[in-house]
Amino acid sequence: MSKLASMIREGASAGEVAAHLDALGDDARVEELYGLGLSEQKKLWALAAKNAPLTLESFVPSADKRTIYRGRNSLVAFQRFEKHFWRPSDGGACFGFNENPGIVSWFAGPGYFTFTAEDGLIVFDYTKIPSQQLPDWPKIEPNAKGFGPRVVYAGMVDYNRRVSEHVVVGEARKKGKPMGAYYVISRVER
């Protein structure tokens, strides 16, 4: 069990969790997130409700530069993933995609989404895909096209709260209803 998981189970405050994560380097921080199961992620989601709001600039600090987050979801399988983000400096739509290992990428595709800041949350909307294709990113395909992408991403919207400077926790919803699925991601330098 990770130290972070123990802290959450023992009722650490939001400030204690943030201080612990902020003191770690990228790899150690991500390893702490990999140690969180559904129960800890759900508790972290509730705990993060008291934290400072997220803005586009705090979430993706550099415009016109790929920002990468690595994380873990609460699903039974295929738990580790990356999310890649782009915030254009011209004020255009912010967008991103999912990078999953092996067969998951083949089955589900990149799962493109747009993201906005709303009421202190960052919202990933898989029902709205970007119109701008970046040269080194996967081909943009609608999330309702093909069996795999439709099952995984169609109708999904994720809501994200700040945990620490580099870490956010998210809750997945489909067609407006919570799925009982959570994830944690950490911004990494690459």
The dihedral of CA 175, 176, 181, 185: what is its sign?
Answer: positive
Taking only the tens of pLDDT, the chain with its 190 residues reads 789 999 999 999 999 999 999 999 999 999 999 999 999 999 999 999 999 999 999 999 999 999 999 999 887 666 888 999 999 999 889 999 998 876 566 676 788 999 999 999 999 999 999 989 999 999 998 988 888 777 788 899 999 999 999 999 999 999 889 999 999 999 998 6
CA count, 13 A, side-chain hemisphere, 137: 22
Q: In Å, what is the CA distance from 129 to each residue of 7, 38, 189?
A: 37, 28, 25
* pLDDT of res. 41: 96
The C-alpha atoms of residue 70 and residue 14 are separated, in whole angstroms, by 21
Q: In Å, what is the CA distance from 101 to each residue of 48, 51, 86, 109?
A: 28, 31, 21, 11
The C-alpha atoms of residue 108 and residue 172 are separated, in whole angstroms, by 16
Query: Chain centroid to CA 11: how far?
Result: 23
* pLDDT of res. 105: 66
Residues spanned by the domain of 115: 3-188
Count of domains for the chain: 1
The C-alpha atoms of residue 95 and residue 85 are separated, in whole angstroms, by 6
CB atoms within 10 A of CB 175: 10
